[in-house]
């Protein structure tokens, strides 16, 4: 395999973070390329793709478009919207996957988007301020999902720093705090639904890390579902072996399985110890060996 194919496999096919960014960009390009000719010829599109994929606030429209709770988080409104969302997703996603592994990015993105979307729907049906607009309100964008990943990263490593050309190094806890503060203030100045969904995503990101530290992975149902789907398409080989050989193989397999379990337990204990140290101090307080261990764990996942 060539060097280019190795790089392609590692950074594209082997990374959920890159996959998510590519999916968002692809959907953005497809929607805009389809609607562009209609705009140029001043024609109305026969099918409103964005409306079809949006999340609706009213129960009536929500029931008619139930897929919107999932699809809305992959639809962006304009170039700057997708640019800043994807940049933030990449920055915070890189930090998070280095700390807790690559496999947790996808479920956190999806659950964060769902949690933010549900908070948006509930807010529009609870607060009187939205009673006149709830029937026409809809929501799109990856911001709730991105906020979930950003707040998860800030919760697990609050003192991790990002370097900006103008402002220099800034700790991510102050960056996400600024995001949250602006969302709270801007609720009353337009796009209230979007800002509410952002807050919902941020809340889920915090809760995800909180429960993960307690030993509960909120994304476990996601893994169960994906494993089930994967098993449906897996091919099982039926091998005929003699009883003695089968018994010997089973015993060997059990011994290997026990050794692997012990190794997994030791790794988890070491990972918990390092994460606690990050929480007490900062990522920068880790030794070289501890950083290398985190990197190795993230690559294994």
Q: What is the pLDDT of residues 52-96, one digit of tens each?
A: 999 999 999 999 999 999 999 999 989 999 999 999 999 999 999
Q: Please report, for the chain, the start and end positions of each structural domain, with discontinuous segments joined by +.
A: 3-224, 239-300
**Is 198 in contact with 143 (CB distance < 8 Å)?**
yes
Answer whether residue 191 shows pLDDT above 70. Answer: yes
Q: What is the pLDDT of residue 263?
A: 65
Answer whether residue 266 shows pLDDT above 60. Answer: yes
Instruction: For the domain covering 3-224, report its CATH number.
Output: 1.20.1540.10
Q: What angle do CA 175, 177, 183 make, to 5 degrees?
A: 105
Q: What is the pLDDT of residue 196?
A: 96
**Is 157 in contact with 274 (CB distance < 8 Å)?**
no
More confident position, 44 or 149:
149
Task: State pLDDT tens for residues 203-256.
Answer: 999 999 999 998 899 988 888 888 888 778 765 444 444 444 444 444 444 545
Average pLDDT estimate for 247-271: 57
Answer whether residue 290 shows pLDDT above 50. Answer: yes
Q: What is the pLDDT of residue 273?
A: 78
pTM beyond cutoff 0.85:
no
Q: What is the pLDDT of residue 295?
A: 67
What does the alpha-carbon distance between residue 128 and residue 125 come to, in Å, rounded to a whole number? 8
Q: What counts of helices (H) and strands (E) characterise the chain?
A: 13, 4
> Is 244 strand, coil or helix?
helix
What does the alpha-carbon distance between residue 107 and residue 20 come to, in Å, rounded to a whole number? 11
b/e burial code for range 165-181 (CB count within 10 A of at least 16 → b):
eeeeeebbbebbeebbe
What does the alpha-carbon distance between residue 139 and residue 72 come to, in Å, rounded to a whole number? 7
């Amino acid at each position: 395999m060539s060097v280019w194919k190795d790089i392609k496999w590692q950074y594209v096919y082997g990374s959920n973070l890159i996959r998510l960014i590519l999916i968002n960009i692809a959907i953005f390009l497809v929607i805009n390329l389809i609607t562009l000719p209609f705009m140029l010829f001043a024609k109305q599109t026969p099918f409103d793709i964005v409306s079809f994929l949006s999340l609706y606030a009213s129960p009536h429209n929500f029931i008619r478009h139930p897929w919107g709770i999932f699809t809305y988080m992959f639809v962006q409104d304009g170039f700057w919207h997708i640019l800043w969302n994807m940049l933030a997703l990449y920055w915070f996603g890189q930090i998070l996957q280095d700390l807790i592994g690559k496999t947790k990015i996808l479920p956190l993105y999806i659950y964060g988007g769902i949690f933010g979307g549900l908070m948006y729907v509930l807010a529009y049906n609870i607060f009187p301020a939205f009673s006149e607009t709830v029937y026409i309100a809809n929501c799109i964008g990856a911001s709730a999902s991105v906020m979930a990943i950003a707040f998860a990263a800030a919760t697990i490593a609050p003192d991790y720093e990002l370097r900006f050309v103008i402002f220099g190094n800034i700790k991510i806890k102050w960056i996400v705090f600024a995001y949250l503060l602006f969302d709270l203030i801007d609720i009353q100045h337009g796009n209230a639904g979007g800002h509410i969904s952002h807050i919902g995503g941020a809340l889920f990101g915090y809760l995800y890390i909180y429960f993960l530290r307690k030993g509960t992975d909120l994304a476990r149902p996601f893994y169960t579902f994906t494993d089930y789907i994967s098993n449906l398409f897996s091919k099982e080989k039926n091998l005929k072996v003699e009883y003695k050989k089968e018994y010997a193989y089973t015993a060997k397999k059990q011994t290997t399985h026990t050794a692997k379990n012990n190794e997994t337990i030791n790794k988890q204990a070491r990972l918990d110890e390092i994460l606690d140290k990050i929480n007490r101090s900062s990522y920068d307080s880790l030794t070289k060996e501890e950083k290398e261990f985190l990197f190795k764990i993230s690559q294994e996942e």
